[in-house]
Homo-oligomer: A and B are copies of this chain.
Amino acid sequence: MPLLLLKDLPRYECLLEAAREFPDLDPSAAEAFLHLLRASDEAYGINARNMAAHGISAGRFSVLMLLWRGDQVRSKAPAGTMQCDCGPRTPASLADACGVTRATMTGLIDTLERDGFVKREPDPADRRMMSVHLTPKAEAFLRDYMPGHFKIISSIMSALTEPERKTLVRLLVKVQQQAATLAGTPQAVPN
């Protein structure tokens, strides 16, 4: 939960007033921006508290999901068709998929390994590399955890009807793409 946010957002009239002093302030843009961050923060917080109650964090959850997805793809693939890459396994590729640095991933894997969720194994081919694997404990945890996780997300989004969700996604994609462009990292079009 990254609180850059004031607990009470400024009211729209205050934005209008402030815009008199700062011509660069676009009240409707600022309003939308603040509400975006506020809503996201609130939704994120619900989830983060649930994760914390189960002893994991967002970063740890991401790693577990990536490894799990890879395992599932692997177990479903027909025998003999395994030369595809089945999701990230090394710290560097996990870091890349999670959007964190390798250093951060080292820390995440450290605590995940300490808590018995993953195991590091050296790569026989390249002695610089490690391979990270889920333990049975982690698989059991995920199988137990995910239903509640999905219930929470559904419950947050129950505020919106199906068409409202589509509209929201459409608007959010626009904002995200514009932001990605500004960040100088034009992402592939999502969905």
Contacts and interface: CB of A to CB of B under 8 A. Distances in A.
Interface of A: 1-9, 11-12, 22-26, 28-33, 35-49, 58-59, 61-62, 65-66, 96-100, 146-148, 150-160, 162, 164-169, 171-180, 182-183, 188, 190-191
A175 B159 contact: yes
Question: DSSP class of A's interface residues: helix, strand, loop or mixed?
Answer: helix
B157 A35 contact: no
A27 to B, nearest CB: 10
A172 B41 CA distance: 11
Nearest to A23: B147
Contacts of A97: 6-8
Given A6-B65, A30-B153, 12 more contacts: A3-B62, A5-B99, A12-B191, A25-B150, A26-B153, A29-B157, A39-B175, A46-B182, A155-B182, A157-B178, A164-B171, A167-B171
8 contacts: A2-B44, A2-B58, A29-B153, A29-B165, A32-B157, A36-B172, A39-B172, A156-B178
